[in-house]
Structure 1
Amino acid sequence: MAPSAEYRSGGPRYLSSRIDDLPGFAFAFDIDGVLLRSSGIIAGAPEALALLHRNNIPFILLTNGGGKHESARVHELSKKLGVPITEENFVQSHTPFKELVEGSEAIEGLKDKTVLVTGGDGDKCRKVAEMYGFKNVVIPGDILMEYPTIWPFNQIFSDYYHKSTRPLPRQVDPTNPSTSLKIDAIFVFNDPRDWALDSQIILDLLLSKDGVIGTYSEKNGDPTLPNNGWQQDNQPALFFSNPDLFWATSYHLPRLGQGGFQASLQGVWDATTNNATLSRTVIGKPFAHTYRYAERVLNKHRAQLLGESIRGASELRRVFMVGDNPESDIRGANEYDSPNGTEWTSVLVSKTGVYRAGMEPKYKPQVIVDDVLAAVKWALKEEGWDWVE
């Protein structure tokens, strides 16, 4: 079907029994703007997921949202959407950070290192990181409460931080770096609530020597070094969990997301370093790392769902990625090159999320539909699954 084709939702239908036909396809759904808008259910979402659940058609939820542990999110979503969702078929923006706990041949594990985690409400993201296996997790509020002079407007959020902070594992003493607080990695788990404090502390760490709070690397600005000396002195690695500039909330216009904070930090970095390169790692949609991770999760979930019968089933041939954001959901599905040869087909909803019908999407989907129920019906029709009234 042509990229501009549209398929509008009709009345309720149900799939006919396909006992002898195991699905060689599956679905990946974004959440915000596809299944939910803020905390409200989007019409047709429960019906779409129930249709797949009744017919043992595998699906995962693949979202750039986060801020809570996967177990809490799937409990909430199962109740709202009326179908069982588990951690086995759910991937949120920071889920792949789990892989950095133990590390790999290419990356040293961070399990026993000290990491800074920012974003989310209070210290919820700290608790998520600890549930992943990180043992020493600091949040910006911890630093502010013990060293309020690090940010001159500390009084504004003092009451907020008092409820969620802990003593630091080490004192901040830049005159004695060997015993001072050292940060080995920085994780932006979710949209920061206090952009100013988080930006200041992240910038301090990126300018530090060896990640020691309060130090300033003598290599910064040295024209004889790569990148004029910036980030050349064992500063902590910087990770963002998603690049979304905007996301759909209960407000009628899209709101700034984690990508907005990232752009703001980039601007401060550019002004500070005269446009030196900022080294960081960004995951989440549309990046291939997240799609590879999601495909592994989906294949494992598919094997569990189909059980013994999967022995006679074909490999997963096709995944329908249903999303509302052309620059994350659609771009990611279009550009992802599966190592397993699985085809990812992009489906854009036009009436429930960031994208609005009539706009020219920067990244063109395979098809544009009204909503998630229409997306599922179109995909099933593409796969030749029959309907009965």
Structure 2
Amino acid sequence: MKVPFLFLTNGGGVPESQRALELSELLGVNIMPSQLLADVTFASFLLFLRSQIVQGHSLFRNLLGRYQDELIVATGKGEPALVMSEYGFNKVLSIDEYVSYFKDIDPVSQYKNWTTMSRSDRSSTLTKLASVCDVYTEKVKAAFIVSDPVDWGRDIQVLCDILRTGDPSGQENGVQPALYFAADDLEYQAAFPDKRLGVGAFKIALESIFNRVHHTPLECVIYGKPEPIAFKNAEATLNQIHCDMNHESLDSHLNRNQSKNYFSALYMVGDNPSVDIKGARQAGDPWISVLTRTGMFHGKGNHQEYPADLVVDTVEDAVDFILEKEFSSGQSGCSSG
């Protein structure tokens, strides 16, 4: 029995191909790396990654038509500028790189005992963009929060500057450049026993401060779970993975079945009720939510605010249930948070 599956995660900061390699080595199975395709199932103008790794920032690629050759800034842990560059954006700077152009833009940098960017990295950045733009005069057209920022204080200060109007000095007022968040998780479970503040907490901090120091409220667009577009993209990707496994084209499947979705059931397996379960519930049929007690949730029963269709102890329990239930009823798709 072949079961199409993918990893749907708000975690990010590295390209899908790198994440696929990491999981392949960790799990001992071959996880498909990314491949760009035109989407035909929920909006003809969108693009999506045919990959078994779908991160919160994967859909940033759909904004290429708007920002491919515009100056943009990306922030977050990992390699946010590399992520955006691999999506096809030609003039992207990480916020580390952007800050390196402006002396004293971070007034407390002298008190920090860490370095986020070496001199050689800065030199490489200057060389990289010198032929295509002038960072000192060209306005930033959009800022992308790719993953959890590392230096909140600096990033909030610099984003408040450039989001005023995109001007490097931040001194004039005007139309706010676009701001995109890869996710909105308030908390997440990491190695520390208690929950840690996530990118959603950074959004609250940035929004609160921006609205106090600027004359217009901050505007932003959010991707990732539990946003409906994240689940629509996962659904489209699972359809394509299924067709690949069965050596047929998605077009031929749609023509034959007159249906946008091959699956009678799509299982969202996750441990965060406010992200994984809420998203699956909002997405509706054919999504079925499975809540595990492996991270954000440890309750004995179900979650009160966002109850799942099924609650189990582990991911293995969830997979066993799905395979047993679906073995005699045809194909299903599985998405793991």
Partner of 1:76: 22
For residue 277 of structure 1, the aligned residue among 217, 224, 228 is 217
Judge conservation of contact 1:64–1:242 (CA < 8 Å) in 2.
Answer: yes
Cα displacement string for residues 212-249 of structure 1 (whole angstroms, at most 9, x for unaligned residues): 1114344xxxxxxxxxxxxxx33210000001111111
Structure 1 window deviating more from structure 2 (80-89 vs 313-322): it is 313-322
Partner of 1:162: 118
Structure 1 window deviating more from structure 2 (283-292 vs 141-150): it is 141-150
Partner of 1:96: 59
Judge conservation of contact 2:23–2:31 (CA < 8 Å) in 1.
Answer: yes
Q: Does 1:212 align with 2:154?
A: no
Query: What is the alpha-carbon distance in structure 1 between the residues aligned to residue 95 and residue 326 of structure 2?
Result: 50
Judge conservation of contact 1:188–1:241 (CA < 8 Å) in 2.
Answer: yes
Query: What is the alpha-carbon distance in structure 2 between the residues aligned to residue 374 and residue 61 of structure 1?
Result: 17
Q: Does 1:136 align with 2:91?
A: yes
Query: What is the alpha-carbon distance in structure 1 between the residues aligned to residue 187 and residue 114 of structure 2?
Result: 28
Query: What is the alpha-carbon distance in structure 2 between the residues aligned to residue 300 and residue 236 of structure 1?
Result: 35
Shift of 1:145: 2.2
Counterpart mapping for 1:280-295 below 5 A: 280-295=220-235
Query: What is the alpha-carbon distance in structure 2 between the residues aligned to residue 375 and residue 196 of structure 1?
Result: 40
Shift of 1:365: 0.6
- Secondary structure, aligned partner of 2:267: strand
Q: Structure 2 stretches of 5 or more lacking a match?
A: 34-50, 330-337
Judge conservation of contact 1:144–1:154 (CA < 8 Å) in 2.
Answer: no
State the AA in 1 paired with 2:147: N
Q: Does 1:358 align with 2:285?
A: no
Partner of 2:195: 254
Judge conservation of contact 1:191–1:258 (CA < 8 Å) in 2.
Answer: yes
Query: What is the alpha-carbon distance in structure 2 between the residues aligned to residue 361 and residue 131 of structure 1?
Result: 41
- Tell me how large the CA RMSD over aligned residues is: 2.4
Between the two proteins, the alignment pairs up a number of residues equal to 296
Partner of 1:347: 290
Partner of 2:280: 333
Query: What is the alpha-carbon distance in structure 1 between the residues aligned to residue 138 and residue 262 of structure 2?
Result: 50
Judge conservation of contact 1:140–1:197 (CA < 8 Å) in 2.
Answer: no
Query: What is the alpha-carbon distance in structure 2 between the residues aligned to residue 309 and residue 370 of structure 1?
Result: 37
Counterpart mapping for 1:34-45 below 5 A: none
Judge conservation of contact 2:164–2:177 (CA < 8 Å) in 1.
Answer: no
Cα displacement string for residues 65-88 of structure 1 (whole angstroms, at most 9, x for unaligned residues): 111111111011011111111122
Shift of 1:272: 2.2
Partner of 2:6: 60
Shift of 1:318: 1.2
Shift of 1:284: 0.3
Partner of 2:271: 324
State the AA in 2 paired with 1:150: I
State the AA in 1 paired with 2:14: K
- CA 280–150 in structure 1, closer or farther in 2 if over 3 Å, else same: same
State the AA in 2 paired with 1:377: D
Partner of 1:120: 77
For residue 179 of structure 2, the aligned residue among 213, 216, 238 is 238
Superposition TM-score, scaled by structure 1 size:
0.71
Query: What is the alpha-carbon distance in structure 2 between the residues aligned to residue 139 and residue 319 of structure 1?
Result: 36
Partner of 1:200: 157
- Secondary structure, aligned partner of 1:159: coil
Query: What is the alpha-carbon distance in structure 1 between the residues aligned to residue 15 and residue 115 of structure 2?
Result: 25
Partner of 2:245: 305
Higher Rg: 1
Partner of 1:189: 146
Shift of 1:278: 2.1
- Secondary structure, aligned partner of 2:306: coil
For residue 370 of structure 1, the aligned residue among 300, 313, 317 is 313
Shift of 1:158: 6.6
Cα displacement string for residues 133-166 of structure 1 (whole angstroms, at most 9, x for unaligned residues): 0000112222322322111112226732226432
State the AA in 1 paired with 2:161: D
For residue 265 of structure 1, the aligned residue among 186, 206, 224 is 206
Query: What is the alpha-carbon distance in structure 2 between the residues aligned to residue 71 and residue 236 of structure 1?
Result: 29
Superposition TM-score, scaled by structure 2 size:
0.81
State the AA in 1 paired with 2:102: Y
Shift of 1:363: 0.9
Shift of 1:90: 1.5
